């Protein structure tokens, strides 16, 4: 399974589409939680894959991957970007105290 992230220009035409697929483990993307555009016009997507949170920042101009981060946790729940371009991702994690 893959997730497609389209970007649309002002005239509602498709500017680009980027598909994410984990070819190493062939894992299914379980969910895309939130997509935001930052002040520079770049696109940030967060969700879950392989029981990990995954956040990817794409160039708004051409869809190239600027960076991606994974965190060992089952579910991203929120995404925010401030005026300085800082990205915050919130989520939940199942943990049983030992």
DSSP symbols for 31-79: EEEEEEE-TTS-EEEEEEETTEEEEEEE-TTT--EEEEEEES-SEEEEE
| Whether pTM exceeds 0.85 | no
Mean of the per-residue pLDDT values for the chain? 79
Phi-psi group of 84: left, alpha or beta (phi > 0 → left; psi -120 to 50 → alpha; rest → beta): alpha
Tens-place pLDDT, residues 4-14: 666 655 556 77
| Any domain includes 98 | no
As a whole number of angstroms, the distance between CA 97 and CA 89 comes to 24
Residue 90: what are its φ and ψ, rounded to 5°?
-110, 160
| Any domain includes 44 | yes
Both structure tokens of 76: 């991203």
Q: How many domains does the chain fold into?
A: 1
Structural domain harbouring 50: 3-92
pLDDT band of residue 1 (cuts 50, 70, 90) is: very low
């Amino acid at each position: 399974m893959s997730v497609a992230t389209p970007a649309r220009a002002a005239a509602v035409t498709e500017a680009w589409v980027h598909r994410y697929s984990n070819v190493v483990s062939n894992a299914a993307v379980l969910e895309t939680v939130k997509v935001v555009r930052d002040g520079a016009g770049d696109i940030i997507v967060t969700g879950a894959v392989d029981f990990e949170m995954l956040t990817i920042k794409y160039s708004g101009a051409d869809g190239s991957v600027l960076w991606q981060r994974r965190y060992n946790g089952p579910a991203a729940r929120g995404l925010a970007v401030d005026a300085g371009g800082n990205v915050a991702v919130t989520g939940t994690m199942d943990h049983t105290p030992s």
